[in-house]
């Protein structure tokens, strides 16, 4: 595991974008696993800027997203499909047909999860998987549990995750209670993993995830077992870690 300490969120965003850009330059037809949430927005903005300047070409890449709220249609402005179109895909000029996100409007969880895993396998697997990390150590929507889930699955969101996400909705009652998410095995099968973390409020979980025991009670801790992980984190997020 390689840990890159950055000054602040802006510096973290540029360096995380740099890792993704290097992947695209080295392999223009890369399969990218992407994440939503506030953390990667700065990196997406930087990638878009480099693309518009002619420094990056996204025309051959394919993308798969970590997760999607169950019960939201793709035109819902709180869906992750909408988020990705608005915050990255449209700006980077990536057509819809080269992106895949779990279909939250599909009521048959078993069918949708099987479809998604099959699509990732058919694409040849993920070259680089971008991750954020929740306050409880979740990656994707893999919440603390007694075991590490393997493939894409439907998960009940914890109270802490609902609390963290309610700022994006009109009220807490509007936050979906379930989501479709890639499983830990799918994430760990990516050839490279990039974790972006920012803020002092993440300091405790960063320490537990990357310097504590590997346990499904801290889902991100499994990344200690991956052969190629880059963590890009600002000073605040790494404040408990002695590097």
- Rg (alpha carbons) of the chain, rounded to whole number: 17
Of 118, 139, 134, nearest to 188 by C-alpha is 139
Dihedral of alpha carbons 54, 59, 60, 64, sign: positive
Q: SS3 sequence, 25-78?
A: HHCCCCEEEECCCCCCHHHHHHHHHHHHCCCCCCCCCEEEECEEECCCCCCCCC
Catalytic annotation, residues: 67, 136, 138, 143
């Amino acid at each position: 595991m390689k840990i890159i300490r950055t000054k602040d969120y802006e510096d973290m965003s540029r360096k995380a974008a740099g890792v993704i850009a290097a992947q695209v330059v080295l392999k223009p037809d890369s399969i990218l696993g992407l994440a939503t949430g506030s953390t990667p927005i700065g990196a997406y903005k930087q990638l878009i800027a480099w693309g518009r300047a002619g420094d990056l070409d996204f025309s051959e890449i394919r993308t798969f997203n970590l997760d999607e709220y169950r019960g939201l249609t793709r035109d819902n402005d709180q869906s992750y499909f909408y988020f990705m179109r608005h915050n990255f895909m449209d700006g980077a000029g990536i057509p819809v047909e080269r992106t895949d996100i779990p279909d939250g409007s599909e009521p048959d969880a078993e069918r949708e999860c099987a479809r998604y895993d099959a699509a990732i396998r058919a694409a040849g697997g993920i070259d680089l998987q971008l991750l954020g990390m929740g306050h409880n150590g979740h990656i994707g929507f893999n919440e603390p549990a007694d075991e590490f889930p393997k493939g894409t699955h439907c998960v009940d969101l914890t109270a802490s995750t609902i609390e963290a996400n309610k700022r994006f909705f009109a009220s807490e009652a509007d936050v979906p209670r379930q989501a479709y998410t890639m499983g830990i095995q799918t994430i760990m099968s990516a050839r490279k993993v990039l974790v972006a973390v920012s803020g002092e409020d993440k300091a405790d979980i960063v320490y537990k995830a990357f310097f504590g025991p590997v346990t499904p009670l801290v889902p991100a801790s499994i990344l200690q077992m991956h052969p190629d992980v880059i963590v890009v984190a600002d000073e605040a997020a790494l404040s408990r870690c002695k590097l």
